[in-house]
Amino acid sequence: MTRIALVEDDAAIRDALAQILSQRGYEPVPVTDFSRTSQTVFDAACDLVLLDLGLPGVDGTVVCREIRSRSDVPIIVVTSRSSEVDEVLSMTMGADDFVAKPYSAHVLAARIEALLRRVQGSRSRPVVEHNGLSLDIEASSAAANGQTVELTRNELRLLAYLMRNAGSVVSRTALMCELWDTDAYVDDNTLTVNINRLRQTLARIGVRDYLVTHRGQGYSV
């Protein structure tokens, strides 16, 4: 059974989330000791994390960064802190999606299912190669110039989509739909943050100017 960590300090919200997940066949794993959230997630072998930002004693973005530094487990930030700054910071720290409170239970469930589906799909895809860069989907890594670098989940999704469409300009809308299944709930600047992070990651293995920006159109490789 798919195990989902609930990192939420409000007991009423946490119980409601647990009920939503149980009804859909998931196993909720409530986290209440926020001083060791990351370790709890790892010890419970969770398949996905629902993470609030306003936690007692620690900011959720810090928890997000701690989890991402040790694991590529999918993270969905679910929070009432719905400013653009909070969303961009969450994505920068490694979150895969961002859902603002109040939310629809159906929308949240759809986001969870979509993210889990993308994770499972990524693990079954082969190596993709283009213009001197090799992308190992299963290992979530890119290699060039005799060097290898690990990719975050969003970096993997972006690079795989662009490489599979090599030679064509991929619109920003198409990339947002690839990452989050919809562009209706995602600020346009969030995609820019993810693109810039991917560029920085590729630069670590000597790959620069690989992602080409087509102003007003999108990106290509």
pLDDT level of residue 72 (50, 70, 90 thresholds): confident
Helix (H) or strand (E) holding 188: helix 188-203
C-alpha 135/C-alpha 96 separation (Å) is 20
CB-neighbour burial class of residue 153 (10 A; exposed 0-12, middle 13-18, buried 19+): buried
* Averaged pLDDT, 22-28: 91
**pLDDT the model gives residue 190:** 84
E strands in 86-136 = 97-100, 127-130, 133-136
Q: How confident is the model at residue 184 (pLDDT cuts 50, 70, 90)?
A: very low
Give me the mean pLDDT over the 60-74 stretch: 90
* Mean pLDDT taken over the chain: 88
Percent of the chain with pLDDT over 70: 93
Residues 138-151, mean pLDDT to the nearest whole number: 91
Q: Which of 117-121, 122-126, 199-203 has the lowest mean pLDDT?
A: 122-126
In this model, does residue 203 exceed pLDDT 80?
yes
What mean pLDDT is predicted for residues 115-119?
83
